[in-house]
Amino acid sequence: IIGRPGRGHSIWLFWRDGSFAGWYVNLEDPWRPSRSGFDTEDHTLDLWVESDGSWRWKDEDELAVAVEVGFFTAEQAASFRAEGERVIAEWPFPTGWENWQPDPSWPVPSLSADWEA
């Protein structure tokens, strides 16, 4: 996961069978430092960018329902979409992390007792 300070998104990289598959752009509140790392709030609307550069919106229907029931305002929803449009306009792909793989000898980390997973 790649996050930049003050930005309303993070970029998640995905692999399928060892090959790079694409980028998931999670639209969210800017990360806030917390005792256990960072906190954020998801904005429901996201982007999927294929490794070939084609892209699409994700969960537009879920965001519409969230606005309809009052979880988000129409203005908030518009700002989430604007952040996604900014990401596409800036085109931060590739990120430079597409070929990175963790060392297979690394142990699997464990979560602390107060972590909610």
* Residues assigned a catalytic role: 58
Fill in the DSSP letter of residue 86: H
Alpha-carbon distance of 107 to 57, in angstroms, equals 36
Nearest to 10 by CA among 57, 43, 51, 36: 43
Place of tokens 């537009």: 60
